[in-house]
Structure 1
Amino acid sequence: MIEIPEGFARSTITREGDAGRSWVASLPQLVDELLQRWNCSPTAPVTHGQVGIVVPVLRGDGAPAVLKVSFPHPGNAHEPDAFAAWGGRGAVLLHERDDARFALLLEQAGPGTLADLDDIDEAVAIAGQLARRLAVQAPPGLPRLSNQAEEWEERLRKDAERLPHPLPRHVVHAALATVRELGHDQPDMLVHGDLHYGNVLRSEREPWLAIDPKGYVGDPAYDAITLLRSRFEDLLAADDVKAALLRRLVIFADAAEVDGERVRRWAQARAVTAAHWGREHGDAVWLIQATDHVAELLT
Structure 2
Amino acid sequence: MHKSTLEYQIETLTPWIKKWNLSSDGEQIITHTSHLQPVRDCHGKALMLKVALNEDERRGAKLMNCWNGKGAAPVLACESNALLMQRACGNRSLLEMANNNEDEQVSQIICQVVETLHSSSVVLPGELVPLSRWFASLLNSTQSNPIYGLCREVAINLLSSAQNEVALHGDIHHNNILDFGEQGWLAIDPKGLVGERGYDYANLFCNPDLPTAGRRARFQRQLKVVTQATGMGKTRLLQWIMAYAGLSASWFIEDGDTTSAEKVIAFAWFAAEKLDMAVRD
**TM value normalised by structure 2:** 0.83
TM-superposed deviation, 1:125:
1.3
Partner of 1:289: 262
Q: 1:78–1:40: structure 2 CA closer, same or farther, 3 Å change rule?
A: same
Contact 2:137 2:250 (8 Å CA) reproduced: no
Q: Please, which runs of 5 or more residues in structure 2 have no aligned partner?
A: 273-281
SS in 2 for 1:234: coil
Name the counterpart of 2:157.
181
1:251 maps to 2:231: no
- CA 252–49 in structure 1, closer or farther in 2 if over 3 Å, else same: farther
Long gaps (5+) in structure 1: 1-17, 161-165
Structure-2 change in CA distance of 1:53 and 1:205 (3 Å): farther
**How far off is 1:77 after superposition?**
2.1
Provide the rounded CA distance (Å) in 1 between the counterparts of 2:13 and 2:251. 34
1:205 equivalenced with 2:214 (yes/no):
no
Check 1:258–1:283 CA distance in 2 against 1; reply closer, same or farther (3 A cut): same
Q: Name the CA shift for 1:144/1:44 in 2 (closer, same or farther; >3 Å).
A: closer
Matched residue, 1:70: 52
1:107 match: 86
Deviates more, 1:288-297 or 1:32-41: 288-297
The answer as to whether partners of 1:131 and 1:256 remain within 8 angstroms in 2 is no
CA contact under 8 A between 2:203 and 2:244: conserved in structure 1? no
C-alpha separation in 2, matches of 1:146 and 1:282 = 23
Q: 1:113 to 1:54 in 2, by over 3 A?
A: farther
Paired residue for 1:15?
none
Contact 1:114-1:201 at 8 Å conserved across structures: yes
Evaluate the alpha carbon distance shift between residue 272 and residue 146 of structure 1 in structure 2; reply closer, same or farther with a 3 A threshold: closer
Shift of 1:288: 2.6
Match for 1:220 among 197, 211, 223? 197
Cα-to-partner distance string for 1:48-102 (whole Å, 9 max, x where unaligned): 455223211111222111111221x121121222212222011101111122xx2
The CA RMSD measured in Å over matched residues stands at: 2.5
Q: Of residues 79, 85, 97 in structure 1, which corresponds to 2:60?
A: 79
SS at the partner of 1:293?
A: helix
CA contact (8 A) 1:45 1:55 kept: yes
CA distance 1:279–1:87, change in 2 (3 Å): closer
User: Identity percentage over the alignment?
Assistant: 22
Determine helix, strand or coil for the equivalent of 1:205. helix
Determine the structure 1 residue equivalent to 2:133. Answer: 148
- Bigger shift: residues 185-194 or 208-217: 185-194
State the secondary structure of the residue aligned to 2:38. strand
Do 1:220 and 1:258's aligned partners in 2 also have CA atoms closer than 8 Å? no
Contact preservation (8 Å) 1:83, 1:94:
yes
2:212 equivalent to 1:234: yes
Q: What amino acid is the match of 1:143?
A: L
Following superposition, the deviation at residue 152 of structure 1 comes to 5.4
- Matched position secondary structure for 1:125: helix
Which secondary structure does the structure 2 equivalent of 1:177 belong to?
helix
2:239 maps to amino acid: R
1:82 and 1:215 in contact (8 A); partners too:
yes
1:147 positional shift: 3.9
Distance 1:125 1:104 in 2: 29
AA partner of residue 265 (structure 2): D
What's the TM-score, normalizing by structure 1?
0.78
Aligned positions of 1:16-165 closer than 5 A: 25-71=7-53, 73-99=54-80, 102-110=81-89, 111-117=91-97, 118=100, 119-135=102-118, 136-137=120-121, 139-148=124-133, 151=136, 154-156=139-141, 159-160=142-143
Report how far residue 149 of structure 1 moved: 7.1
